[in-house]
Structure 1
Amino acid sequence: MPIRPATFPRAQGWLRWALVAVPMVAAMPRADALTWSLIGVTLALSLPLPWIHDAVLRPPMTALTLALIASTGALWVLHPGSWASVAMFSTTFFVVLKQSTVPIVLAIALDAGVITTWAARHDLWDDALSTYAVLAVIVLMALNRRARLARVEQTELALARAQTANEEHARAAALAERARIARELHDVLAHSLAGLSLNLQGARLMLVRDGASPDAVAQIERAQALAADGLAEARQAVAALREDAVGVERAIADLLAAYRLDTGARADLAVEGEPRELAPAVGTALVRAVQEALANTRKHAAQAEVDVTLGYAGGSVELTVADRQGRRPPDAAAAGYGLRGMGERVALLDGRLDSGPGEDGWRIHLTVPA
């Protein structure tokens, strides 16, 4: 079961922020009114940097990074001897590393414009060529790093898929063996016990007809009851082997693992309370709810992160599925067949289902008696 990632910024995030903040602090001793304004804007824009971990940033973060390049570039043009160029180039490296083609092109164009303005303002055209070369090296380094990270991710994904395939093969082999044992139990033991029960029934009727002693009839009835119990247990064993019952937590974790492999987005399960065995109908309702919620997320919010919480209370089980779209989704015009079917299944269990948009995505919450 995956563990939720820590929300505290990572070391790379702090380094990314420091490469912007330190040059701003260094520029403060020589700052005039305009410089102070640029420093304040840049520091304000840099505050979210430690918390950015997306593979491809959402539009607000894209605008933020481009604004950072513009503000640090303007400060560098005003004070060519400052470290503002470090902040500008480090932010460019991050944009090329993390973002899509259009933001990358815009960032490079901004850098080229800043360098051209810097050279024209201070008549440093001889140094402009080397600065363009520095920009090219930074872009190439970021592209190389990006390609390496993509190769590592593809390798990890291939290994995960291979492991999943191996597990599925092992599972299929185990299911085939269980099915073979179930057939043997059904064809041999269950049939034999059924025949024994019928013969004992006939023997009891013959003893009653012939006026046998009550003790003899009672012994036959006890033997018949034992045969019937054995037949019922054999049928239960066959059903258990055929069903291959899987725990609710494991089934939900498998669904989330498949979602992560398909989309590359984070999908975590948190279990609250003490897990316990649930009725088959309850377990099916919970698993089907997660399955339907993930299908809707794939359809309406591709690559959204998903958080699933399974809580065991005193006499009920609560399930919450929330996708993190980064914005409030529009209200659905009408519930689809999937949500309606989920609601009907929960209603049959005397449970309650709530679904609708939240602050940053769609949320489904259901409670069923356990």
Structure 2
Amino acid sequence: MDTVTITTGEERRPLGPLDWLRWGLVSFPMLVSIPGASGWLWPLIGVTLVCSVPMLRPPARPAWVLPAGMVVVIMSSGTLWVLQPNSLTSVAMFSTTFYLMRAYGKVLTTAATVLSVIAIVAMAWIHRLDWLSAVSILSLPVVMLLLAANRRGRSARLEQTELALARAQTAAEEHARAAALAERARIAREVHDVLAHSLAGLALNLQGARLMLVRDGASPDAVAQVERAQKLASDGLAEARKAVAALREDAVPVERAVADLLAGYRLDTGARADLVVEGEPRELDAAVGTTLVRAVQEALANTRKHAQKADVDVTLVFSPEQVELTIADRQGRRPPDAPAAGYGLRGMGERVALLEGELVSGPGEDGWRIHLTVPAWTCAW
């Protein structure tokens, strides 16, 4: 079975030069400090090296590992710098401080600044630095703080610009879609008012002609020809009505509708939202497509309510006889059992039951999981 993957969340990127440089600014000073370190300084060097590993490859979860590791690196490398003033450990402390200021918010920025200032004051006090040297070193955290604030501001402006462009593109697409729908509605009215009415009148006239031929004792061949013409008119009328219905509906593929819902969830929460489509997507019956889309919509609403900012994985499997949909949120823990099914899940179950499908929902190992199976009815026209 072919697999098509649509990823709407962030993917793990390969290590780049900046990652190695950021980690090297911590690890290299520690390695250089080893020969001159006394026995009781070895634990500080070891702790610094261990806590610097997340800076090379930030873990996806839990999120607190990287900032906590950087705080420890600042503390341990600052202590080493105070105890070994001729070493390069200050490079590790200041580079980690700047990275923490640039990547995180006010609380961690304040913590990094306070820790750096404490180390500088201790250095100046213990080693009797003159006031000019002390002020020069104290200016480093201030400069880094300004640079980090400027970097965060620039990143925020870029994000706002991208968001504005995305909204403008969405508005343009919605405008084009509305124009297309208006044109389709106009064509549907024309087909209904002209073609469908004409075919309906033709079918009625042919029926009257057939009755008159039967009454007057016409030949069977003539009656058969009129009956055939009446059937063609009736079939044409049915096809015209189907065409009108198709023009008035804006059928969106199920996989696209689900991807749009996940994109909205990601923009609202900032969490990861992935869609995996297996098999060959195809146009489904309106009832089947509506059930699948409403199931994803209800599941995302429940996730927003009960597990804010939880990652979501959705799998849509197309097989010849059925369509399977699995929605799982990643809360990082096993949620408690629901005392009773809410109206949303109950309505979802009723929709699936009307289609003679199956619905299973409940807590999993790391979040809530919904799995439903419905027959793969395709559109008749």
TM-score by length of 1: 0.89
From 101, 107, 116, the equivalent of 1:102 is 107
In 1, the alpha carbon distance for the partners of 2:364 and 2:103 equals 27
Residue identity in the other structure for 2:121: T
Tell whether the 8 Å contact from 1:9 to 1:51 is kept in structure 2 after alignment.
no
| Matched residues, number | 368
Residue identity in the other structure for 2:375: P
In 1, the alpha carbon distance for the partners of 2:205 and 2:30 equals 95
Q: Give how far 1:295 is off.
A: 2.2
**Change in CA separation of 1:364 and 1:28 when aligned onto 2, cut-off 3 Å:** farther
Equivalent residue number for residue 231 of structure 1 = 237
Equivalent residue number for residue 170 of structure 1 = 176
In 1, the alpha carbon distance for the partners of 2:10 and 2:330 equals 14
How many percent identity over aligned positions? 67
Matched residue of 1:47: which SS?
Answer: helix
Between stretches 19-28 and 187-196, larger displacement belongs to 19-28
**Are 1:91 and 2:99 matched, yes or no?**
no
Matched residue of 2:170: which SS?
Answer: helix
Q: Give how far 1:358 is off.
A: 4.5
**Are 1:130 and 2:136 matched, yes or no?**
yes
**Are 1:153 and 2:159 matched, yes or no?**
yes
From 284, 308, 322, the equivalent of 2:328 is 322
Equivalent residue number for residue 25 of structure 1 = 31
**Change in CA separation of 1:110 and 1:343 when aligned onto 2, cut-off 3 Å:** farther
**Change in CA separation of 1:337 and 1:185 when aligned onto 2, cut-off 3 Å:** same
In 2, the alpha carbon distance for the partners of 1:283 and 1:70 equals 56
Q: Give how far 1:183 is off.
A: 0.9
Tell whether the 8 Å contact from 1:8 to 1:51 is kept in structure 2 after alignment.
no
Q: Is there any run of 5+ residues in structure 2 with no aligned partner, and where?
A: 1-5, 377-381
**Change in CA separation of 1:89 and 1:337 when aligned onto 2, cut-off 3 Å:** farther
Between stretches 230-239 and 309-318, larger displacement belongs to 309-318
**Change in CA separation of 1:8 and 1:261 when aligned onto 2, cut-off 3 Å:** closer
What does 1:258-269 align with in structure 2 at a 5 Å threshold?
A: 258-269=264-275
Note the aligned Cα RMSD (angstroms): 2.5
Equivalent residue number for residue 301 of structure 2 = 295
Q: Give how far 1:264 is off.
A: 4.2
What does 1:233-252 align with in structure 2 at a 5 Å threshold?
A: 233-252=239-258
Q: Give how far 1:10 is off.
A: 3.9
TM-score by length of 2: 0.87
In 2, the alpha carbon distance for the partners of 1:298 and 1:145 equals 31
Equivalent residue number for residue 379 of structure 2 = none
In 1, the alpha carbon distance for the partners of 2:94 and 2:320 equals 57
Tell whether the 8 Å contact from 2:59 to 2:65 is kept in structure 1 after alignment.
no
Matched residue of 2:124: which SS?
Answer: helix
Q: Give how far 1:219 is off.
A: 0.8
Q: Is there any run of 5+ residues in structure 1 with no aligned partner, and where?
A: none
**Change in CA separation of 1:188 and 1:258 when aligned onto 2, cut-off 3 Å:** same
Equivalent residue number for residue 76 of structure 2 = 71
